[in-house]
Amino acid sequence: MPPPETMFCSQQINIPTGLPEVLKNFTKAAIRTQPKDLLVWSAAYFDALAKGEILPVKERLEINFGSQTKDAMLTPGLLKTLHKQLSFAETCGREMLQDKWKALCLPMEQLENMLILGNFSMDVSWMEFFALGCSALGDSLKTSLKVACEILTEDEEGGAARIPFEIFSLLCTYLANLDPEMPQGHIDGFLTSLEPQVKLQHGMIKPLDFIHREDMKPPNESSD
């Protein structure tokens, strides 16, 4: 004969002290991040939480980049999350990058295409990969650099989106060199032309300084 059912009352159930707060934070994080696969993301979330690592969580909900599409793709918010997780060193292991990418439920095909484009081996230069991520989010070199400024800036949301010119130059040069039709002299001239404005801004550059300029294109490309 099976044992009689045990009746529980609220006084008999011991709820861990921190559980409500943990669940509240988890729920908020899931709403902001909108992962395509909640179970995969949840496992990564609690694994990072247990290890004291940066969580795979977006800072805010991206209205125009929600999970309503059939296949999740990289978004500025997700790239910013990856940057927070992986920018602590100049390079990151390919396997670690793959793990963080999977945790955000991003398509592996997109990652593999980016790794091939960057010709990365087992060690991935993070800022070069970050630049490729910005390129995937922009439809031109200028818009890709604008994305980079908006992700890397320490300005408040909606502000000027300034970043150090040194970082901007590295990203610009790397992305421009991927275009075989972009002469190095053209790249150098463009960056040099920005220096007077950068000096006025104490070594910083913002999207408005370059986004409307027409001199950062391959010589044979027509104006927008």
- pLDDT per position as a tens digit, 159-199: 999 999 999 999 999 999 999 888 999 999 999 999 999 99
b/e burial code for range 24-46 (CB count within 10 A of at least 16 → b): eebeebeeebbbbeeeebbebbe
Q: pLDDT at position 181, please? A: 86
Query: Is residue 4, in this structure, part of any structural domain at all?
Result: no
Q: pLDDT at position 3, please? A: 61
Query: Is residue 8, in this structure, part of any structural domain at all?
Result: no
Q: pLDDT at position 69, please? A: 44
Q: pLDDT at position 64, please? A: 62
Is there a contact between 153 and 161 (Cβ–Cβ < 8 Å)? yes
Query: Is residue 198, in this structure, part of any structural domain at all?
Result: yes
Q: CA-CA distance, 139 to 42, in Å (whole number)?
A: 32
Residue 40 in this model has a pLDDT that exceeds 80: yes
Band of pLDDT at residue 151, cut at 50, 70 and 90:
very high
For residue 11 the two structure tokens come to 């006084």
Task: Give residue 155's domain range.
Answer: 138-224
Q: CA-CA distance, 142 to 161, in Å (whole number)?
A: 14
Q: pLDDT at position 149, please? A: 98
Query: Which among 128, 213, 125 has a CA at the least distance from the CA of 176?
Result: 128
Band of pLDDT at residue 13, cut at 50, 70 and 90:
confident
Q: pLDDT at position 21, please? A: 95
Query: Is residue 223, in this structure, part of any structural domain at all?
Result: yes
Work out the widest C-alpha separation in the chain, in whole angstroms: 88
* Least confident range of 3-7, 61-65, 173-177, 194-198: 3-7
Q: pLDDT at position 126, please? A: 97
Tell me the torsion sign for CA atoms 44, 45, 51, 52: positive
Residue 58 in this model has a pLDDT that exceeds 50: yes
Query: Is residue 165, in this structure, part of any structural domain at all?
Result: yes
Q: CA-CA distance, 94 to 91, in Å (whole number)?
A: 9
Query: Is residue 153, in this structure, part of any structural domain at all?
Result: yes
* Least confident range of 21-30, 65-74, 203-212: 65-74
For residue 58 the two structure tokens come to 């977006």
Residue 125 in this model has a pLDDT that exceeds 80: yes
What value does the mean pLDDT take over residues 124-137? 97
Query: Is residue 108, in this structure, part of any structural domain at all?
Result: no
Query: Is residue 132, in this structure, part of any structural domain at all?
Result: no
Measured CA to CA in angstroms, residue 207 lies from 30, 165, 191, 197, 217 at distances of 31, 11, 13, 12, 16
Residue 66 in this model has a pLDDT that exceeds 50: no
- Decide which of 104 and 221 is more confident: 104
Beta-carbon count within 10 A of 204 CB: 21
> Which long-range contacts (C-beta less than 8 Å, at least 24 apart) are formed by 159-164?
160/206, 160/207, 160/208, 161/206, 161/207, 162/201, 162/204, 162/205, 162/206, 163/204, 163/205, 163/206, 164/203, 164/204, 164/205
* Least confident range of 3-12, 20-29, 123-132: 3-12
In the chain, the number of structural domains is 1
What value does the mean pLDDT take over residues 41-65? 92
Q: What is the DSSP string of 62-131?
A: -GGG-TTSSS----HHHHHHHHHHHTTSSEEEHHHHHHHHHHTT--HHHHHHHHHHTT--SEEEHHHHHH
